[in-house]
Structure 1
Amino acid sequence: MTQQPFSRPGAVDLSGLTSAAPAGGAAGAPAGSSYAVVLSEQNFQSTIEASMTAPVLLVFYSPSRMPESAQLARDMETLSGELEGRFLVGLVDIDEVPAIAQAMQIPSVPLVVAVVDGRPAPLFQDVLPIDELRTQLTQVAQQLTANGIAGRHQPRHVAAPEGEGDEPLADPRYAAAQDALGEGDIERAVAEYQKLVDANPADAEAAAGLAMAKVLQRTEGADLDAARAAVAADPDDVDAQTLLADNDLVSGQVEDAFARLVDLVRRTAGDDRDRAREHLLALFGAVGNDDPRVLKGRQHLASALF
C-alpha cells in the first residue's frame, strides 16, 4: 500500500465508534502475551485510558491486504511480553474493526502508533525484523524513562497453572510482607514489597502491595490537623493535599481521595501538577487498576489533563 503521512494530531477522537460487536467475532479474543490485547470497539476506550499509566502501542495491520503486517503484529505481541509491561500493545486488525482505523484516520498499514497520556504519535510504518523492532522499542523505552515516563502495565491475563482449582493458592513470595503488615510493621512491609518489585518490576500484586504500604507509611503518625489547616490556607498546597488524599484512602474514602487529587491536577500547573498527577497514579496502583473506582478516576484525570 502507498505510504502516506499519519496526521492525527491531539487526543484520540472516539466519536465515530459504535457499540456494535466486532466483525467476525474474533477481534476480542485474548492475545498470547499478558501485555497485548486484541482491540475491539468495546475495549478501545479503556486501552487508550491505560496510556495514563504507561505507554500504549497501537499496531494496525491487515492479514488480507498486507500479510507481512500480520507478522509485525505477532512480533510486537512477542516483544510486549519481553518488555514486561513497559508497553501495552493493542492489536487492531483493520478488516475486523474498520471503525477504529477510521476514528484514528489511519492512512495505510502497517502502522504503529504510540499513545502516551491519551495522546497518539506515529512511531513507524514499516515491517521490520524482530531484532530491529526489539532495538527500536528498547530505545523508545529508554527515551521515555529519561523524560520521567517509567510506569508499567499490569498483566492483562495470566494462565492458571494446570490442575489449579478455582481458589487461588497463597503465594509464599508475599508472606513476609503480609506478615509485616499483620504485625503493624509498616517499614518492614515496605522493604519486603520493594524487594519483590526490584526483582520483578512487572509483578502487579507486589507493586500494588508496595503502593498501599507506602500510603500507610506516609499516614502513620502524620499531623492531619496541620495538613487540613494548610489546605484551608492554600488549597493548592500539594504536600498537604496529597497527605489528606492518602488519609482518605486509608479511611476507605477512595473516591474522595481520587476527586481531591483530580481537582488539584485541574487547578495547578508545572511541577505541582506533575506531582499531584504522579501521586494520584500511585493511589490508582494501590487500589488496583481493575477497580471500577480507578477506571472512573482515570477518566476524570484524563478530563482534567485535557
Structure 2
Amino acid sequence: MITSEEKERPAAGAAFTLEEVLAATGGTLARLGHVTRFPGVTTDSRALAAGELFIAIRGDTHDGHDFAGDAALRGAGAVVVEQPPGDPAPGCGVILVRDTLAALGDLAAFHRRRRRPRVVAITGSNGKTTTKEMLAAILERALGAGRVLRTTGTQNNLVGLPLTLLRLADADAVAVVELGMNGPGEIWRLAEIAEPDVGVITCVAPAHLERLGSLHGVAEAKAELYRRLRPSATAVVNADDPLVAAAADAFPGRKVPFGTLDGLPVAAAGIVDRGLEGIDFRLVLERREAPVRLAVPGRHNVTNALAAAAAAHVLGVELELVRAGLEAFQPPGMRMEVT
C-alpha cells in the first residue's frame, strides 16, 4: 500500500561521490580532479552545471567524446569516457569505462536502488504514453503533486530512461517509465536498469518488422519485460491480446490480467462510445465497480485505462481514486506510438 508516511519524505537531488561513480560503473580513475562529489549528471555539455559529471555518449549523428574537452572547460567535475580526452581543462577528473552507454545505465540503476521508489515500467506497440499519463494522473490523486516521476517526451530509450531515473528524488514515491525499443535485447536492458516492481505490456502490433521480422518477433521483444521482472514483481497482462497473454505464461510471479472478458480482476463493462467527446464504461476492480467517463475518444483508450487501473491497483490505490484520476486525465499532444 502507498501510505501517508511515504508522502512526507524530504526531497534530495541526484548527487554522487567519486567512489559511488566508480563502484556503479566499474570505471577506472585516470585523473583525479578538484571535485569528488558531483551534484548531477549530464550527457549534454551545453546544459552542464558546474561540478557535474559529464558522460560522453556515442550517438547516431554525434559522439560525446568530441565534447569532453568542452565539458571540462565549462566546469565539469569529471568526464566519463572510453578513451582519455586530448587535454582536459585543469581540475577536471577523468574516469575511463569500457562503454559509456552502459555506464550511464549502470549509474541510473545504482541511483534507482538507493532511492527505492516503486517503479512501473510500461511497454507495448501502442498506448505506452497514454497509459503512462493515465497512471500518473491516478497516482497524483493518491499521493499528491510532486510524488510521481514519469518519462517525459520520448525519453524511453537507452539514454532517455537512465536520464529519467537520474531525476529521482527522495520525494518520488513512484516512477512511471516507458520502455521503447529498436530491436531485440533493448527492453531487457531497460528493465535491468529500471528494476520494475510492476511490468505492463499494453499490446503487440506489427511495428519494427524490418528489425524483428514478424509479429512473433515483436511479441518476443516486448516479452523481455516479463522475463526480466523479479519473481517478487507483478506482471500486468492484457488478456484481450493473445500474444501478451502468452508472453506472461512463463512469468513465475503475480499476474494481474485486465480486459473486457468476464471474470477478470480488472475489466471494463457497459462501454458507451460518445464519439469525439470521449467514452464511458464501468470499471470493475476485484468485484467492485465504478462508472468512468474518459475525456478521450476511442475504445483503445479503454484498454489503456484498464492497464493504468490495473497497475494502480497493484500499488494499492483505491477504486475511487483510480476513477477520479482517469476522469481527470487530459491527453498531452502526442504522436502515434510505434515503438
Q: Which protein is richer in strand relative to its size?
A: 2
TM-score normalised by L of structure 1: 0.28
Q: Which protein is richer in helix relative to its size?
A: 1
TM-score normalised by L of structure 2: 0.26
